[in-house]
Amino acid sequence: MGKTYATAGRERLRIAIQKSGRLSDPARALLAGCGLAWRESRDRLFCHGESLPIDLLLVRDDDIPGLIADGACDLGIVGRNVLLEHAGVRALQGQAAAYREWRALGVGSCRLVLALPEAIQWHAPAQLQGLRIATSYPALLGQWLREQDVAAEIVTLSGSVEIAPRLGQADAVCDLVSSGATLAANQLRPVETLLQSEAVLAGPVAGFGDAREDLSMLLLRRLDGVLRLKDSKLLLFRASRRAVPSLLELLPDAEAPVITGIDGSDALALQAICHGAVTWQRLEDLKRAGASGLLVLPVERMLA
């Protein structure tokens, strides 16, 4: 059991993020987009929140689930794969769930896959029976094998999983991939996806019951706004009244537009927030349908 930290009555919210690695910069960018600013300590392990009473702990990503479970931090930004692997280990040890995914953050996308040497034909999970599978995610792999009713030997490695078959340590691998280039370089190909992963905001199963509750809800509202507007654009254009129905059909991903009359004429000015890509082709389609003066602007913040 890890150390349990006193959390009663805490008035500041602590968020653990990866100190360095592929989720470090995206996590900071997301939180900065929520209006958070910090003063970093000299050892670069702690950031004191200045704009809001929300502080950052800079740690290893593998430590984040345990820090939430122990109460050393309140929330964490971590890969779903890491969160679920640690949850699986706790379950196997008979420990109660201590954290859950609060929000998917849409960055750091990757997959946990089962991969075989390219020369082996893949038919079904049953052919894994009795084989050795190397992985850094034994809990997730073990759960999947049980679901498939397959008895295979799990070879747990902390790194360089993809070279295990070439070294004779395993017959297959279960590894995290983004592009799949590392697998291909080792003559492996993915045959099954066990988990779609990305960065998530993780937090306790229950609420906080003190000032941290309001802070966490404020943070979630701002995060939702940032994520919703991540790929959004403000589209401005003019059109005749009779062309509006056809134009709105070309904007299925747009929020209800603001429509304003122009000098008492038949012309209207429209502005709509689009949550999909506003490409040149899309603009040309709108122009052919009767839009003019098309203008596309970025959206930084929106408060409903």
Instruction: Of 95-99, 134-138, 189-193, 261-265, give the lowest mean pLDDT range.
Output: 261-265
Residue tagged 């990866």 (tokens): 18
Determine the pLDDT at residue 117.
95
pLDDT digits (tens, 9 = 90+) for 38-90: 998 888 889 999 999 999 999 999 999 999 999 999 999 999 999 999 999 99
- pTM of the prediction? 0.80
Give CA–CA dist 73/76, Å, rounded: 7
pLDDT at 155 over 70: yes
pLDDT at 124 over 80: yes
The stretch 173-185 carries a mean pLDDT of: 91
pLDDT at 266 over 90: no
Q: What's the burial of 240, exposed, middle or buried (CB within 10 Å: 0-12/13-18/19+)?
A: middle
List of domains in the chain:
13-108+199-228 (3.40.190.10), 110-197 (3.40.190.10), 233-298 (3.30.70.120)
301 or 130, greater pLDDT: 130
Rounded to 5 degrees, φ, ψ at 272 are -140, 140
pLDDT at 192 over 90: yes
246 or 179, greater pLDDT: 246
Q: Which residues of the chain form beta strands (DSSP E)?
A: 13-18, 38-40, 46-49, 54-59, 75-79, 99-104, 110-117, 132-135, 153-156, 172-177, 188-197, 199-204, 233-240, 258-261, 267-274, 292-298
**Is the separation of the CB atoms in 275 and 254 below 8 Å?**
yes
Determine the pLDDT at residue 235.
94
pLDDT at 9 over 60: no
Give CA–CA dist 285/300, Å, rounded: 26
Residue tagged 């709509």 (tokens): 272
Percent share of the chain, pLDDT over 70: 96
pLDDT at 8 over 70: no
pLDDT digits (tens, 9 = 90+) for 276-296: 888 999 999 999 999 999 999
pLDDT at 16 over 70: yes
The stretch 208-235 carries a mean pLDDT of: 89
Q: 3: pLDDT confidence band, cut at 50, 70 and 90?
A: low
How does the average pLDDT of the chain come out, rounded? Answer: 91
pLDDT at 177 over 70: yes
The stretch 144-153 carries a mean pLDDT of: 96
Give CA–CA dist 49/56, Å, rounded: 7
pLDDT at 231 over 90: no
> What is the full DSSP assignment across 212-225?
HHHHHHHHHHHHHH
Determine the pLDDT at residue 277.
82
Tokens of 3: 């150390």
Q: 304: pLDDT confidence band, cut at 50, 70 and 90?
A: low
Determine the pLDDT at residue 4.
47
Q: 303: pLDDT confidence band, cut at 50, 70 and 90?
A: low
pLDDT at 262 over 70: yes
